Structure 1
Amino acid sequence: MASLLHRLAAIIAFLCIATFFSATILVELSGSAEAIATLKSLIVWPGLLILVPSIAFTGASGFALAKGRGGKLVRQKQKRMPFIGANGILVLIPCAVVLDHWASLGAFGTSFYVVQGVELIAGAVNLILMGMNMRDGLRLSGRLRRSA
């Protein structure tokens, strides 16, 4: 059961970040200032309310599931998770809050796009690291074999 909840939380966290990332790109390419402001607001509320607990639960349950297990894959997952969490807490959340504030004011200047660029890079990094953790988790569970 713990393994199932861990997988579910990881999938939710990954999909949240992927949705925020892709929606940001799409709305910037085709959206109005109002659409950008609406998206930035939705990312903060309810988006972060879903993302933050799912990442926290994924990390906590992952460390609990790894207790008593060793091996290269477990160690790699354990090394990535603190970076994923720190990237979220120190970069993604502050960027989301600041961008939401600026978008609500209609302040779409250079600073907005610099911070959004930082947010997109940090989001891409987290997606890659989370994807690597998912791959390694599937390998640990025997659901995915190593390629030759």
Structure 2
Amino acid sequence: MKTKIHATAGIIGFLIIGIFWTSTVLSELFGSYEDIASVKTAILQGMFILIPALMIAGGSGMVMGQRRTDIPAVSKKKRMPFIVANGLLVLVPAAIYLQSKASVGDFDGIFYTIQGVELVAGAANFILMGLNIRDGLAMTRMCRKRKKHVQ
């Protein structure tokens, strides 16, 4: 059951980050200032789903993987501090700042600088989480092979 909860929460987080990133790029390239402001507000509201999903994925992952020493597990453990720090120190503050600027129509150079940083940080987290999903699937395959050999 823990693995299903972990996988579901991780996939939800991964998809939400992808949606946030894609929505931002599309609104910046093709939308009006009002569209950008709407996307920024939606992203901020979406944090109420994203953050708990990532907390559940991270917490369950720590519990399930605390004794694992195989390469995929170790790789996931090494990536997690970067994902968390990037999220808490860059992405959340950037989302709050960008929404506050966009909501009053203040699209200046600082807005676009922070927007660029947010896009790079979001892409980094998306890639790192994708690698964690890949390694999680490898770990699942390893467990299934072990169970088949034991039977």
- Please name the residue that 1:102 is paired with: 101
- Please name the residue that 1:84 is paired with: 83
- Please name the residue that 2:51 is paired with: 52
Alignment partner of 1:114 is 2:113 = yes
Is this contact kept in 1: 2:68–2:74, CA < 8 A? no
Mapped partners of 2:11, 2:71: distance in 1 = 23
- Please name the residue that 1:16 is paired with: 16
Structure 2 counterparts to residues 33-48 of structure 1, below 5 A: 33-45=33-45, 47-48=46-47
Mapped partners of 2:81, 2:56: distance in 1 = 13
The superposition leaves residues 11-44 of structure 1 with CA deviations (integer Å, 9 ceiling, x where unpaired) of 0100111000000000111111111101100100
Please, what TM-score do these two structures have when normalized by structure 2?
A: 0.92
- Please name the residue that 1:63 is paired with: 62
Question: Which runs of 5 or more residues in structure 2 are unaligned?
Answer: 143-151
| Secondary structure of 2:106's aligned partner | coil
The runs of at least 4 aligned residues of structure 1 exceeding 4 Å deviation read none
Q: Which has the larger radius of gyration?
A: 2
Please, what TM-score do these two structures have when normalized by structure 1?
A: 0.93
Letter in 1 for 2:90: V
Mapped partners of 2:81, 2:13: distance in 1 = 15
Question: Which runs of 5 or more residues in structure 1 are unaligned?
Answer: 144-148
Percent identical among aligned pairs is 48
Mapped partners of 2:55, 2:84: distance in 1 = 8
Mapped partners of 1:133, 1:50: distance in 2 = 20
Q: Residue 70 of structure 1: CA displacement?
A: 1.6
Alignment partner of 1:26 is 2:26 = yes
Tell me the number of residue pairs that the alignment of Structure 1 and Structure 2 aligns. 142
Q: Residue 68 of structure 1: CA displacement?
A: 2.4
